[in-house]
A and B are shown apart, each in its own frame.
Chain A
Amino acid sequence: MSDNTSGLVLAGVGGQGVVMASMIVADALVRAGHDVKQSEVHGMAQRGGSVFSHIRWGPQVDSPLVPVGTASVLASFEWAEAIRWVPYVRVGGVVIADVRTIVPPGACADRRSWTTRYPEIDPSLLLDRRLKARLIDAAATATALGNVRAANSVILGSVAAFVDVEQSHWEASIERLVPRGTVDVNLAAFRAGLEVAEAPTPAPAPEHRGFSGPHQIDIRQEWCKGCDICSRVCPEYCLEVGSDASLNVSNPDACTGCRLCELLCPDFAISISAPRQTAHVGAFNEPGEIEDESD
């Protein structure tokens, strides 16, 4: 930015707590004596849509919006949102990305092959752009501290490592704004986040979530009595009872693995097993590849 303000972009998915996190950041910056403007946009928040918040601070801020290519820090609570907002980061800026994946229904490209357009967790998507990247498994860190819901404080801790505000201001803001009773765990998570950012630890491979391919439907014909319960309860119309009372899988690719048929089969004739093909959410690269490229 040509003036002497700095910008921060927080991004995530509806319900993750992006707005709360940005309130804490803004509050901490105010405590540090900055002029702060903050602006948030809720997408289809309740439907898992994108939610982001811009924060700008400095001696004097005129507009709350962070122009493209000027943010010094981007913190994302979800992997795809990090990729989406990377263009806002300046050269040499910092991207803090949670490796949590939330696959939106709209990213399902093809229900037959179960391909999704969800980006792979690949640090090179960030590192090619001359950025400092921190990939953090905040949920795992928070879970280790006793409450997975403190994950956002881990991210905030990592943000604090790159924003020139005293730690006491951050902690005062967290104490003021998080729900009563969760202050201690959030402060612990915040400090853990600071450590993670300062000495990047290898992040574990995240659990694959979201669409994961059609499940295997195995029918034990010699036990099936053709009672029709399974085909009537299947939400995806995968099963069909023929005129000879034999059970057929008429639409195997549509099985989502809900297991209603298996649970409601009185004859133990149906088994649903996990898909043989892996999800397209992508494998996590070796943590060693996460390196600072420009300092």
Chain B
Amino acid sequence: MTDVKSYLREWAMPHVLCPGCAHGIVLRSFLVAVDDLQLDQNKVALVAGIGCSSRLVGYADFCTLHGTHGRAPAFATGLKLARPELSVVVVTGDGDGLAIGGNHLIHAARRNIDITVILLNNSIYGMTGGQVAPTTPPGAFASTAPGGNTEASFDACKLLIGAGASFVARVLAATPIEMTKLMADGMSHRGFSFIEVISDCPEYFGRYNKAGGGAAMLTGLTLRDEGVAVPLASKRFVNHVPSSAPPPGITTGVLHREDRPVFVGVRKAVDDES
């Protein structure tokens, strides 16, 4: 295995993310997945919008595009149509992908364009100061919900299955080996692949909700991990921290996979018919 640091823009490191933020683990797992798939560094395009998660593309030494808030799937759609030989990957967050860019995300899924979307869900708007996001669980505290969130939250995977994504998976940032495997599967899948990574935000979500630092939040996540019946390389956390009754489980693994026609653009479809 190559040293994943060879895929980093080392001059840009260390990254801006807070201590304990698991987004860096996600970036690392992604780099390992690219290495496992033996992809040409110049044939991988990372597209991002705005947010903590979207900062990741700045540190990865591929073709990268840092676009406007929520519009990463739109940029990626255009890029894939113009340069179909590229592996196009969108890195987005729960606010960027599900609130500001919700429409772009579901319509890219509906078209089943052959891109991969990695959505880092940390349940809060981290970069702007800990406001309520569409994924903040009911009852959780945030800077705009000092009395606890009164809204229901999105299940991103259900949303994307409904929108027509042909590969939908969920994984925890605390299980990097599974994450790498699912990312490689998603990138190999022909069609729209959606991978929701449950990440953490110790600085805002953790602080407001007294969930502890990054280590405690990640350990807490693993206690809630309920894998679906898929064979995955498994290397679990060694849990040093005893926990009280855990909150509801998080279903991880490949939740949906189907083969259906991939959107290749009008011009290509017309060419194929003639």
Contacts from A to B (Cβ < 8 Å):
222-223, 225-229, 231-235, 245, 258, 260, 263-269, 271
Q: Is the CB of A266 within 8 A of B21?
A: yes
B237 touches which of A233, A245, A268 (Cβ 8 Å): A233
**Given A266-B24, A268-B24, A228 contacting B214 (CB threshold 8 A):** yes
Residue of A nearest to B235 (CB): A260
Task: Please give, as numbers and ranges, the residues of chain A lying within 8 Å of B24 by CB-CB distance.
Answer: 265-268
Number of interface residues of B (CB under 8 A): 34
Task: Please give, as numbers and ranges, the residues of chain B lying within 8 Å of A265 by CB-CB distance.
Answer: 24-25, 28
**Given A267-B15, A268-B8, A260 contacting B214 (CB threshold 8 A):** no
Could you count the A-B residue pairs with CB atoms below 8 Å apart for me: how many are there? 79
Q: Is the CB of A228 within 8 A of B25?
A: no
Q: Is the CB of B218 within 8 A of A229?
A: yes
A263–B219 alpha-carbon span in the complex (Å): 14
Q: Is the CB of A228 within 8 A of B20?
A: yes
- The CB with the most chain A CB atoms within 10 A, among B17, B24, B213, is that of B24
- List 30 contacting pairs A-B, 8 Å CB cutoff, sorted by A: A227-B20, A227-B21, A227-B213, A227-B214, A228-B19, A229-B20, A229-B215, A231-B215, A232-B215, A232-B216, A232-B241, A233-B215, A233-B219, A233-B237, A234-B238, A235-B238, A263-B25, A263-B28, A263-B177, A264-B174, A264-B218, A265-B25, A266-B25, A267-B15, A267-B17, A268-B4, A268-B5, A269-B14, A271-B3, A271-B5
Interface string of B3-33 (1 = CB under 8 A from A): 1110010000111011111111101110000
Instruction: Say whether B130 faces chain A, with CB atoms less than 8 Å apart.
Output: no
Q: Is the CB of A264 within 8 A of B25?
A: yes
Instruction: Say whether B51 faces chain A, with CB atoms less than 8 Å apart.
Output: no
A258–B176 alpha-carbon span in the complex (Å): 13
A234–B20 alpha-carbon span in the complex (Å): 15
Interface string of B219-240 (1 = CB under 8 A from A): 1000000000000000101101
Q: Is the CB of A233 within 8 A of B238?
A: yes
Residue of B nearest to A263 (CB): B176
A264–B214 alpha-carbon span in the complex (Å): 11
A292–B15 alpha-carbon span in the complex (Å): 64
A258–B237 alpha-carbon span in the complex (Å): 11
Interface string of B233-265 (1 = CB under 8 A from A): 001011011000000000000000000000000
Q: Is the CB of A228 within 8 A of B215?
A: yes
Residue of B nearest to A262 (CB): B28
Interface set, chain B 189-215, CB cutoff 8 A to A: 202, 213-215
Task: Please give, as numbers and ranges, the residues of chain B lying within 8 Å of A231 by CB-CB distance.
Answer: 215
**Given A226-B19, A227-B214, A266-B20, A232 contacting B219 (CB threshold 8 A):** yes
A222–B18 alpha-carbon span in the complex (Å): 14
Q: Is the CB of A223 within 8 A of B14?
A: yes
Task: Please give, as numbers and ranges, the residues of chain A lying within 8 Å of B23 by CB-CB distance.
Answer: 266
Q: Is the CB of B214 within 8 A of A229?
A: yes
Q: Is the CB of A268 within 8 A of B28?
A: yes
